[in-house]
Amino acid sequence: MTKKELIKLKAARLFRLKGYKATSMRDIAQEVGMEAASLYNHISNKQELLAELMMHIAEIFTEGMENILQSSLSPREKLERLIGLHIRYTVEKPNAVAIITSEWVHLEEPTLKEYLLLRNSYEKNISKIIQDGIAQKQFAEVDLEITVFSILSTLRWLYSWYHQQENINPVELEQRMIQSLLDGVNIRN
């Protein structure tokens, strides 16, 4: 791991715990074990840290979504994969997931615009999957807007719930979440 990667790792944890604005370069430096001035030999400024952390995880989710969309899975299976995607990265990179959910307001232009573009298209893609599922009669005729919002809220804020659950198995969690979220969407028998 390079020094820059270490700095980003420590910054991510602090941004998550205290928020971007409340985290100082001195805070980050202390975690890394150097003086604040030395950070600037590895990064150009504080905003760069936020931008790189955010765009990296945003691109991971975007790629995950593209893989799901390009597959020949059914809408139900696509939704299951999407839930799996969120659980995997919530467990693997909880800090990054927390930051992308809560700290994006502190992004400056032009990165803010780039992020919002990815975010919008991500939401539209979820909407499309559910719409397809309804059209193919795999899902009940639910309220599209509210269902998308509800699923997205649950997936986005999973990190805040997950980190206080200690002995939970990610694989088991995935099964429980799939069942819980899809039973509200799934066609009744």
Say if residue 163 is exposed, middle or buried (CB neighbours under 10 Å; 0-12, 13-18, 19+): middle
Closest by CA position to 80, among listed 9, 139, 137, 140: 139
Both structure tokens of 24:
């100082």
List residues near DNA by CB under 7 A.
Answer: 3, 23-27, 34-38, 40-42, 44-47
Number of residues that bind its own copies (CB under 8 A): 32
Residue 88 contacts its own copies per CB under 8 A = no
Q: Which of 30, 47, 131, 154 binds its own copies (CB under 8 A)?
A: 154
Residue 142 contacts its own copies per CB under 8 A = yes
- Binder of residue 40, out of DNA, its own copies, none (CB less than 5 to 8 A by kind): DNA
Residue 189 contacts its own copies per CB under 8 A = yes
Residue 163 contacts its own copies per CB under 8 A = no
Closest by CA position to 90, among listed 12, 160, 151, 153: 160
Q: Which of 105, 110, 113, 137 binds its own copies (CB under 8 A)?
A: 105
CB of 103 to DNA, least distance (A): 13
Nearer to DNA, 34 or 55 (CB): 34
Residue 109 contacts its own copies per CB under 8 A = no
Question: What share of residues in the chain are helix, strand, coil (percent, to 5)?
Answer: 75, 0, 25
Residue 27 contacts by C-beta under 8 Å, 6 or more apart in sequence? 14, 18
Residue 108 contacts its own copies per CB under 8 A = no
- Binder of residue 38, out of its own copies, DNA, none (CB less than 5 to 8 A by kind): DNA
Region of 50-58, 71-79, 127-135, 177-185 interacting with its own copies (CB under 8 A): 177-185
Q: Which of 37, 48, 153, 171 binds its own copies (CB under 8 A)?
A: 153
Strand partners of residue 139: 186
Q: Which amino acid is at 11?
A: A
CB of 117 to its own copies, least distance (A): 16
Do 159 and 94 contact (CB within 8 A), yes or no?
yes
Strand partners of residue 43: none
Both structure tokens of 32:
């890394």
